Amino acid sequence: MKSIVGEVVELRRAGTSLKGLCPFHNEKTPSFHINEHRKLYHCYGCGAGGDVIRFVSETRGLSFVEAVEYLGDRVGIQVEREETTPEEIQRALAERSQRGRMLELYQAAQAFFRHTLGLPEGAEARKYAQDRGLSPEIFERFGLGAAGRSWEELVQHLHRRGFSQQEIVASGLGMPRDSGGLYDRFRDRLMFPIHTSSGDLVGFGGRSLGGGKEVAKYMNTPETTLDTEAPESRFRHFYKKGQCVFGLHQARASLRQTHTAIIVEGNLDVMTLHQAGLESAVCAMGTALTEMQVKEIKRFANKVVLVFDGDAAGRKAAMKAVPVCVAEGFDGVFVLLPETEDPDSYVRKFGAKAMQDLIQAAPNLVTGYIDALVAESDGSLQAKAEVVQKAGLLLAAIPNPIVRDMARDHLASRLLDRGTDENRATLQRYLQRIVPAAVVAESGEQPIPDPTRDEAPVPTIEADLARILVWYPGLMGQAQQFGALEYLGHDGVRLALRDLLGRGRESGLDATVIAEWAREMPDGHARRLILRSLMEGAPVPADQANPWLTQVVLRLQERRLDEEIDAVRGALVHTGSPEDQLAALSQRLVRLKQEKEHVRVALRRAGQPV
């Protein structure tokens, strides 16, 4: 389970468990935990939890069967289906999720591009990559392929693999002809696959080999939306440029060691740096680094090195990227390359050591950003005002107040070294008004709805009963004899424990049965409580379990008696009943108080303070 989850979450040891940033909601303090012994995960922030099959299903958008097949592929076990007739096979294919079919389609396309690279049709793509200094190892590491000059070879290949015209168009790999049929979107290009951080192949990029002005030099798969997913689903977008980080899948091992991501502009930059040994290099898909991409990188690193092209466009992109990184809490540096260089050309000309030296000498993200703004200014009052306004966006993005104050001081010192006292007072007034801006997601995605929002939380005493029975299911029969389940007011917990009791009657209760039962429970406070209990360990040692159960049951009885006493008192105050009914209520109140006293005596004997 650790290896599967580790592809999505950067895990660190925390006592007997592993923890990391939850992949199901945005957080800056890790609340996602894995119990390796129980093979379960649980997030204390959003309540998500389950086993490895559920994790794969929820992080990759796969059905249960597809998740099992995926795990089977990972360990070399073929999961066979029971279909025997062609009709049953077709029905099974139709029942696969749209996302599962799309992943299969892209894998088929990747196999086609890889095969083409080794054919005569791929000779020009091979030569281009080799001329750029890329080795066979990088070809393999990044899955480079080739699209030939044919107009429909890929489309025909996908048709032969059983994919419909509608699926091929939805993938963006095939384009409809005006006269009918489809043609290939990518032709005469060096192809490189685009993966999510967990390794799912969701898109392609292609570098033109023809060189014609009318042909785009770089072209990516269009953004793809799955119409079977709800609008608020995390899997609504199969491929969205603003969420994908090229090279992050390949860089994960290096990021786990260095915790520092080298962010560059282009795909070839990434591959060249990896070949030079700088294997934590990644780049944004799209023209600018987005908040969602930075959050993806944050799962694996806490520092960044920005190495953008040395031309005006590259410097502009770097200046846009700094506030996005700073707002996410990244520390790091940014490197300004010579005007005629990009990371790819610089490393090929001067070597990896020269690039590492540049990184070592590079300024901090914040101070470097401010220095670059000041360096571009001509020193006039108008220019200084523009510097202050641009730097104010960065200052407002810094979450740490100490760092923000130091950045404010650095900006003031750079602008006021030759300023008048009047300038100084104006600048100080403006800088003191800058406060952190609210973080607003640019993706436009809706937060994942919480299914327990309108559900009552589980009372502590009922949670205690659930915890003791989950860890010591042998006490279930004794709890039933006490009538403990009838004392539960939370519907979810009561129904869950009744279901667990039923399973125990059928097959007995052990750790395997308990784990399977928890996995199948519907989402809600009860399920989250059970998973959390399994993660945290037994509430008491085994030799204290029986007395603990007795105390819990007595406390539940006391709570029930308190509720009945309050109800009778209310009836006595507000009723207009005849005297004989009032007398009956009074007698009932006396009996309830006596029963409560018996319970309190029993609690004292059991060692529970009352």
- Residue 21 scores a pLDDT above 90: no
Q: Coil, strand, or helix at residue 190?
A: strand
Residue 30 sits at the vertex; the CA angle it makes with 27 and 33, to the nearest 5 degrees, is: 125
- Residue 55 and residue 61: Cα distance in Å, rounded? 10
Of the candidate ranges 286-300, 348-362, 401-415, the one whose mean pLDDT is the lowest = 401-415
pLDDT of amino acid 43: 86
Q: Is the pLDDT of residue 446 over 60?
A: no
What are the residue ranges spanned by the domains of the chain? 2-60, 97-239, 367-432, 460-605
Q: What are the angstrom distances between the C-alpha of 280 and each of 247, 249, 262, 275?
A: 8, 10, 6, 11
The topology under which CATH files domain 97-239 is DNA primase DNAg catalytic core, N-terminal domain (3.90.980)
Closest CA to 561 of 586, 588, 596, 590: 596
Q: Which amino acid belongs to residue 288? A: A
Query: What is the CB neighbour count within 10 angstroms for residue 37?
Result: 12
- What distance in Å separates the CA atoms of residue 473 and residue 266, rounded to the nearest whole number? 57
Residue 463: partners with Cβ closer than 8 Å, 6 or more residues away: 493, 529
The topology (CATH level 3) of 460-605 is DNAb Helicase; Chain A (1.10.860)
Q: What is the distance between the alpha carbons of residues 322 and 324, in angstroms, rounded to a whole number?
A: 5
pLDDT value, residue 437 = 45
Reply yes or no on whether the pLDDT at 91 is more than 70.
no
Query: Who wins on pLDDT, 423 or 315?
Result: 315
Say which amino acid occupies 571.
Answer: A
Rounded to whole angstroms, the Cα distance separating 98 from 63 reads 10
User: What is the C-alpha R_g of the chain?
Assistant: 31
Q: What is the pTM of this model?
A: 0.67
For 144, 166, 186, 569, the CA distances from 174, given in Å and listed in that order, are: 20, 9, 8, 75
- For 524-571, what is each residue's pLDDT tens digit? 777 778 878 877 778 888 888 888 888 888 888 888 888 888 888 887
Look up residue 41 and give its DSSP letter.
E
pLDDT of residue 510: 67
pLDDT in tens, 204-226: 999 999 766 677 888 899 888 88
CA–CA dist 353, 359 (Å, integer): 10
Confidence label for 609 from pLDDT (cuts 50, 70 and 90): very low
Report the relative pairing of strands 182-184 and 174-176 from DSSP bridges: antiparallel
DSSP-derived letter for residue 442 is S
For 93-139, what is each residue's pLDDT tens digit? Answer: 555 678 888 999 999 999 999 999 999 999 999 999 999 999 999 99
What distance in Å separates the CA atoms of residue 423 and residue 426, rounded to the nearest whole number? 5
Q: What is the pLDDT of residue 393?
A: 79
Q: Give Cα separations from 386 to 99, 322, 364, 432, 555 (angstroms).
A: 47, 17, 21, 17, 68
Tens-digit pLDDT profile for residues 320-360: 899 899 988 899 998 988 888 999 999 999 999 999 999 99
Query: What percent of the chain has pLDDT above 90?
Result: 26
pLDDT of residue 448: 43
pLDDT band at 163 (very low <50, low <70, confident <90, very high): very high
How high is the pLDDT of residue 230? 67
Q: What angle do CA 409, 411, 413 make, to 5 degrees?
A: 70
What's residue 325's pLDDT? Answer: 92
Examine the pLDDT at 42 and tell me if it is beyond 70: yes
556, 483 Cβ separation under 8 angstroms:
no
**pLDDT at 519 (0 to 100):** 66
Stronger pLDDT, 258 or 425, i.e. the higher one:
258
**pLDDT of 379 over the 70 cut:** yes
Q: Is a pLDDT exceeding 80 seen at residue 233?
A: no
Tell me the CA end-to-end span of the chain in Å, nearest whole number: 44
* Structural contact between residues 267 and 205, judged by C-beta atoms closer than 8 angstroms: yes
| pLDDT of amino acid 46 | 80
Say whether pLDDT at 574 is over 70: no
Give the pLDDT score at 441: 36
The model's pLDDT over 508-534, given as tens digits with 9 standing for 90+, comes to 666 666 766 776 676 677 777 887 887
Q: Model confidence over 176-206: pLDDT tens digits? A: 998 888 999 999 999 999 998 888 899 999 9
Mean pLDDT throughout 306-330?
88
- In the predicted model, what is the mean pLDDT of the chain? 82
How far is the C-alpha of 315 from the C-alpha of 563, rounded, in Å? 70
pLDDT at residue number 439: 35
Q: Give start and end residues of each alpha helix (H) in 537-578.
A: 545-574
Neighbours of 407 (CB within 10 A): 24
The CATH classification number of 2-60 equals 3.90.580.10
Q: Is 286 helix (H, G, I), strand (E, B) or coil?
A: coil
